[in-house]
Chains A and B, each alone.
Chain A
Amino acid sequence: MREVCVLGIGQVPVQELWDKSLRELAVASIVAALEDAGQPAVEALYVGNMLGGELTGQAHLGALVADFAGLAGIEALRVEAAGASGGLAFRLGYLAVASGVHDIVLVTGVEKMTERLDPEVTAALALAHDGDFETFPGATPAALAAMIMQRYIHEYGVARGDFAIFPLTSHQNAVHNPYAMYRKALTREFYDKAEMTAAPLNILDCSPTCDGAASVVLAPAQVARDLGRPVVRVSGSGVATDTIALHDRADPLWLAAAARSAALAYQQAGKDPAEIDFFELYDDFSIMAVLALEACGFAARGQGVRFAHEAGIGLDGRLPICTMGGLKGRGNPDGATGVYQIVDVVNQLRGTAGANQLDCRVGMAQAIGGSGATVVTHILEVEK
């Protein structure tokens, strides 16, 4: 397998972008990524997207986006794995370059969620779960996360308010990210007063729906070296699945697929959790951030919240997470999110993260579909 690097990145500001269509968002991020990469000749395009059909009435995104990006003719396809769609598209791009099948691959994540009213978006997002046996009975994505949180509180005696550190951290980090949706810090008081979405989960425990697109250009690492550009290498890549329904898990408080995909990525990269400088985790709901910290070996079982408070998850903590705002602060354009996470990692490793810049060499990103039914983990390193 060849060494693969991220040669270019591009993103559009995450917002409710009423004046932009799905294709315009995707193409804007592609134009930015190709410019950043030095306009290489693209051989394939993988588009991560979850709800193009349901929310915008548009499927066949591989051909559509390639066409409007001026790339008609190349191999192009759409990848769907709910919230892990963007991460999985990146995985396919990585495999295509690593295998030698393609030299230059474009990976785009795009989601357009604001065409519809909230109850319709909620129903569409529920497609990530078991339609007949979770969604039909009335469990929403937030309710499923809330039931994990309720049981977690019951088992480990954590106070509900202690989860506040996750949205507070993400919002704090989003303040200095010009591509983030909420560039405003939150207070604990505000969190405590927030309305319930699905108790005990409140609205500030939930990442917002929005529009967005991000793109990256993948190439053999040697291409970046030859061009004298920063070499941000993909050193670990792992995908794993779990039962689609939360109720079929032997232990609903353990993200088995997160643990497995992280283990695969650690093994390939030859790294252990202590060598990860920062972690772009999937904080679609606060409780999922907690479970990801535990599954990926940063905190012991039942200790994820305590780890956040004691070791620190802010930019100066032992393990900075969601360094550019995460899903909560930047916004969670579902199928695009996994690619935004990679863009965040690359900015940190290149030293282009602005006010949020860390002193770092190794970063990890993890995208999650559904209640942890598909999990994609990547480790990236910069050659210095």
Chain B
Amino acid sequence: MTMELSRHWRLNAQRYALGGVECDGCGARYFPPRAVCPRCGSRSLHQARFIGNGLGQVYSYSLVHEAPVGYGDHAPYPVALVKLDDGPVVTAQLTDVDPADVQIGMRVEMVTRRIKEDGDKGLIAYGYKFRPMLDPRRVEVPA
């Protein structure tokens, strides 16, 4: 069991809100944040606390059968490279989807989910996953 409390805490903005940065020099957007822009060399980047609205599309995907320690309960699980509408590409699990239905180009949206359990007594870490974008016409809005 490893606690790593500060590590999880430090990444809250990324894990729960896809917090990235935008370069003041060239406008490039990065997730996760960087101190130096690899494109223009600028050291001036400002926080873009919510990179977009968490919408994107699947650039590629896989179905993980051989899972590492802490992930076995979910296997097999789909992972994807998700190209966010706001630019950066994010590596994340897909959720609420039949793996057979996953396709390149599929529209997805970010949700917060349980990612990893550290044994029976350890920390449960949460973070972003992506699910197929809900059709807004089918969402019931309470009166």
Contacts and interface: CB of A to CB of B under 8 A. Distances in A.
Contact of B32 (A133, A139, A150, A195): A133
B127 interface: yes
Contacts of A142: 62, 64, 66
A151 interface: yes
B97 to A, nearest CB: 14
Contact of B69 (A123, A195, A196): A123
B89 A137 contact: no
Given A133-B32, A136-B116, A252 B60 contact: yes
B115 A137 contact: yes
Nearest to B65: A196
A102 to B, nearest CB: 35
Contacts of B106: none
A73 interface: no
B93 A138 contact: yes
Given A132-B11, A137-B93, A199 B62 contact: yes
Given A120-B69, A136-B115, A138-B79, A247 B90 contact: yes
Of B7, B38, B81, B104, the most chain A CB neighbours within 10 A belong to B81
A202 to B, nearest CB: 10
B69 A146 contact: no
B70 interface: yes
A146 B63 CA distance: 9
B68 A140 contact: yes
Given A133-B32, A247-B90, A123 B68 contact: yes
Interface residues of B, number: 38
A309 to B, nearest CB: 24
A197 B66 contact: yes
B62 A151 contact: no
B105 to A, nearest CB: 9
A4 B138 CA distance: 70
A130 B92 CA distance: 12
Contacts of A119: 66-69, 72
A97 interface: no
B79 to A, nearest CB: 5
A30 interface: no
Of A123, A136, A252, the most chain B CB neighbours within 10 A belong to A136
Contact of B79 (A122, A133, A147, A154): A147
Interface string A359-373: 000000000000000
B125 interface: yes
Q: For the complex, would chain B's binding face be called helix, strand, loop or mixed by DSSP majority?
A: strand
Contacts of B80: 147
B62 A146 contact: yes
A126 interface: yes
B16 interface: no
Q: For the complex, would chain A's binding face be called helix, strand, loop or mixed by DSSP majority?
A: helix
A53 B60 CA distance: 33
Contacts of B14: 132-133
Interface residues of A, number: 38
B69 A150 contact: no
Of B11, B61, B70, the most chain A CB neighbours within 10 A belong to B61
Given A119-B72, A136-B115, A143 B64 contact: yes
A75 interface: no
Contacts of B60: 147-148, 150-151, 154, 252
B71 interface: yes
A245 B91 contact: yes
Of A132, A143, A144, the most chain B CB neighbours within 10 A belong to A143
B59 interface: yes
Contacts of B128: 137
Contacts of A69: none
Of B61, B62, B90, B116, the most chain A CB neighbours within 10 A belong to B62
A32 B69 CA distance: 37
Contacts of A122: 66-69
Contact of A140 (B64, B116, B125): B64
A140 B115 contact: no
Q: List the 10 closest pairs (A to B, CB-CB), nearest first.
A: A146-B62, A123-B68, A151-B60, A247-B89, A147-B60, A199-B63, A122-B68, A143-B62, A119-B69, A198-B62
Given A136-B115, A143-B62, A198-B63, 5 more contacts: A138-B92, A196-B63, A198-B66, A199-B63, A243-B38
22 contacts: A122-B67, A132-B11, A132-B14, A132-B32, A133-B90, A134-B91, A136-B116, A136-B125, A138-B71, A138-B77, A139-B79, A140-B66, A142-B62, A143-B62, A147-B60, A147-B62, A150-B61, A196-B76, A197-B66, A198-B62, A247-B81, A247-B88
